[in-house]
Chain A
Amino acid sequence: MASFPPSPSRRVDKMVEELMVWVLRAGGWASVLVTFGIVVTLVKESWPFFEAVPFGRLLTDTMWTPLFSEPQYGIGALLAGTLVTTIVALLVAIPLGTILAIYLSEFADAKFRDWVKPMLELLSAVPTVVYGYFALLTLTPLLQKIYPDLSQFSMLSAGMIMGIMIVPYVTSLGEDSMRSVPMLLREGAYALGDGKLGVAVRVVFPGAFSGLAAAYVLAISRAVGETMIVAIAAGLQPRMTINPLESAATVTAFIVQVSLGDLPHGSIGYQSIFAAGAVLFLMTLGFNLAGHALRRRFHRAT
């Protein structure tokens, strides 16, 4: 077989190929660089804060007032706000999201589902500042008619709206994983005489559980990191309380509140928001990695 010398245009092609590999790889690494940027910035800017504040005081102080002349560093006061709003949100999102997922995957007909799913996803596309407006100016006055002692800013109404926002995360991921449960399992259960709901609850739900668990964990991560709804509707005053009818600041709301003021580089306020950010990052990283692992396990199982 005769061999031909590579044509000049072929050489150009090869050079372009080499070049593009590098360009594309750079794109891939850009995403790693972003993570790296977040971690390095959080560590670097919050370092002076954690160095100056004894670790014990983070846990034992009961108030979070790092900007006062006699500062208190009880980060529990911020975590309490995050915990309560997250729990309220999950109490809305997990039951509602799961029921919708079961309904859409097992009961609704395909046409209805194709129409409803994108509509539901619009709920998580609404700008969060709009949800904040809605929680503060519509839901809170409504709830005040039921609980007259609900304060103007309350973790209850912020959490409830946050729950509505994360319903699509639970439903969409949950429905996907329930639909990927093999039909054979359902047919087996039907053959034994179970009804539709029985099959959904006793066969499909357990079969899809790690997928659903991933959806729940990612929903928690969303709720912990949500900012504008709580900053607008739950109040900006850090308070060690677990009563959802009261107002309290979350970790994220604290960052917003400090950012709104004058914030010179290197001031204690500047350092404190990075410290709060570092805590937030660690929490959400934990949930995200757990969610990722669960989802992977689910994909391997089916």
Chain B
Amino acid sequence: MPCDGGSIVRPKSFYHAQEKRARHRRLIDRAFRWLGMILTVTTLGVLGVLLLNLAMNGLGRIDWNFLTSFPSRRAGEAGILSAWVGTLLLMVVTASAAIPFGVAAGIYLEEYAPKNRMTDFVEINISNLAGVPSILYGLMALGLFVYQFRFGQSLLAGGLALACLVLPIVIVATRESLRTIPSSIREAAFALGATRWQAVWHHLLPYSTGGISTGVILAMSRAIGESAPLITIGALTFIAFLPPAPLIAHAPFVSGEWLFSPFTALPIQMFNWVSRPGEEFQSNAAAAGLILMVITLSMNAAAILLRKRAQRNITW
């Protein structure tokens, strides 16, 4: 029963119209709820179709031989040995450059940097850097690392290019996890006479490892899937050898020679196979793609779980 509006007397038709409008609104709301639901499921469905498609075309190709063979002109004999070894070594270079620099930059900006124009500039710079197309990192690496520093078209140049690319991800993750720590923790440490670095090292970093590792995992999963910057620095697609081993039989037992070796990587190998005609090469591409997807999706899933757990365990 609609309210009667005090002393104002309204014709019955007024309330009818109002109820009709309300019904209409409820109908529209319900329709949009369905639309949103359907679109969400469809969009996520693309991911499912993508995985299913790769699995159907590529799963049959994945066997021990595929993992332990070099690329070949004959699609049936080709494998991804040099590609996955290349990806693995690239990640070693990328991680050892991006993690220390990224975490240091995050700590500096969050805990040390004074609020001034300089800091503003660095912040705008980082947010812009996060939006620079990946291929431009490749061009920078080509001009700077390959030719200026004479690293050649090597694992070192490629790994550093990817490190520059993911640096903003590590910085932002570090900052965000430091920001969630209440200032009482810092003040307590200072009150007991800790220097700023001691507060960071003994208290803030241990509390933020969850958040930082989430960022690092996401950064690495991004780097694993990148191909454009590696193509521009001249990663080869047909590499039938492995880089020299990092461990050698004589003193000093470790060798950095592998850093300067030419290389290929999983996404590059897949790109090569996609662009070849012939169904056999395409199923090789699907197999390589499936492996790439499994790696990146499981890294992302691990990051999500880690973030959820880190959030749950914190009770300040």
Write the residues of chain A forming the contact surface with B, with a CB cutoff of 8 angstroms.
Answer: 13-14, 16-17, 20-21, 23-32, 34-35, 37-38, 41-42, 44-45, 96, 99-100, 102-104, 107-108, 116, 118-123, 125-134, 136-138, 164, 167, 193-198, 218, 221-222, 224-228, 231-232, 252, 255-256, 259-260, 263, 265, 273-274, 277, 280-281, 284-285, 287-289, 291-292
Contact = CB atoms under 8 A, between A and B. Distances in A.
A32 B168 CA distance: 11
Contacts, number: 272
Contact of A129 (B29, B53, B267): B267
- Majority SS at the chain B contact face: helix
Given A137-B282, A225-B135, A164 B43 contact: yes
Contacts of A196: 25, 29, 32
A136 B112 contact: no
13 contacts: A16-B197, A23-B104, A31-B101, A34-B167, A103-B35, A116-B40, A125-B225, A129-B267, A133-B286, A227-B134, A232-B274, A281-B136, A284-B136
A136 B124 CA distance: 37
B129 interface: yes
Contacts of B286: 133
Contacts of B127: 288, 292
The interface centre, meaning the residue of B49, B108, B300 with most chain A CB atoms within 10 A of its CB, is: B108
A103 B297 contact: no
Contacts of B171: 31
A291 to B, nearest CB: 7
Nearest to B304: A118
A32 B39 contact: no
Contacts of B195: 13-14, 16-17
B133 A103 contact: no
Contacts of A197: 25, 28-29, 32
Contacts of A99: 35-36, 39
A282 to B, nearest CB: 11
Interface in B38-74: 39-40, 43-44, 46-47, 49-50, 53-54
B251 to A, nearest CB: 31
B109 to A, nearest CB: 6
A226 B36 contact: no
Contacts of A265: 147
- Majority SS at the chain A contact face: helix
A193 to B, nearest CB: 8
A123 B126 CA distance: 24
Contacts of A232: 271, 274-275
Given A24-B104, A107-B33, A288-B128, A31 B136 contact: no
Nearest to A292: B127
Interface stretch (B88-96, B183-191, B228-236): B228-236
Given A14-B195, A27-B105, A284 B133 contact: yes
A37 B36 contact: no
Nearest to B274: A133
Contact of A288 (B131, B224, B267): B131
Given A44-B143, A127-B296, A100 B196 contact: no
Contacts of A122: 47, 297, 300
B262 interface: no
